[in-house]
Amino acid sequence: MIGKEIRLERIIDRNTKRTVIIPMDHGFTLGQIQGLTNMTEIISEVSEGGANAIILHKGMVKSGHRKSGRDIGLIVHLSGSTSLNPDPNDKVIVCSVEEAVAIGADAVSIHVNLGAPNESKMIESAGAIVRDCNRWGMPLLIMIYPKGKDISGTSPQAVGHCVRVAEELGADLIKTNYTGNKESFAKIVKACSVPVLIAGGEKAGDEETLVAIRDAIDAGAAGVCMGRNAFQRDNPRQFVRSICHVVHYGVDPEHALGMK
């Protein structure tokens, strides 16, 4: 579909076929968190650092639009839940694809938790969103994770199941957990026809984070979709620049940290 192809060009680097996406939808879930109190400023920081795209909820697009500086792809997040809910894993649809088109989105994203009590509702909602995305020529990023009692978030079997569900639903991009092991993750990526991105996970040291990214890229990942691990750094612009050096140019993590 030509509409999807045109929009994806604003999210995926034409030369490397990889992407660095910085989600900034966390305020919906967690409130006024560190790093996202001034949206215009932090979007400028990650943009100048070289990120390919950001993820925002619809209400933050206007406040985050900078009107100057380096351009950056816009992904509008359609799912929401809050940490005040007894089950924060219960994601519901809070924005439509048509709304996202109207505010200038280059893609949309949804969140699905496999193994969560309301898994069936999230999968049903995903099916409806896929139909709307195909109608409007809008690329869809499905963020999908293993969640629930006695389910490991990094189990290769569980992560592989998540990736397959997203692919079968009709995702154009998939975000999921890195298994922590190149060999197991490579099998998952190889079996999928859709670009797979790794999530940021728990915040770790600068070099440790970049090493995990490098390993995932070596295993065939198409990039990273990393939020707090990026925008909560002391120098987000510099750290995002380091991520881009690793993802797009294969720079060694230790050297990437010192590059401008």
Of the listed 25, 106, 206, 215, which one is catalytic?
A: 25
Q: Which two tokens stand for residue 62?
A: 């206007």
- Catalytic position from the list 106, 145, 147, 178: 145
Burial of 151: CB neighbours in 10 Å, binned 0-12, 13-18, 19+: middle
Residue in the structure block whose two tokens are 């998939």: 174
| Joined tokens for residue 166 | 């997203």
The answer to whether 38 touches 8, Cβ cutoff 8 Å, is no
| Residue 235 φ/ψ region, left for φ over 0, alpha for ψ in the -120 to 50 degree band, beta for the rest | beta
Catalytic residue among 58, 91, 147, 175: 175
Q: Is 175 a catalytic residue?
A: yes
Check if the beta carbon of residue 235 is closer than 8 Å to that of residue 218.
Answer: no
**Catalytic positions:** 25, 145, 175
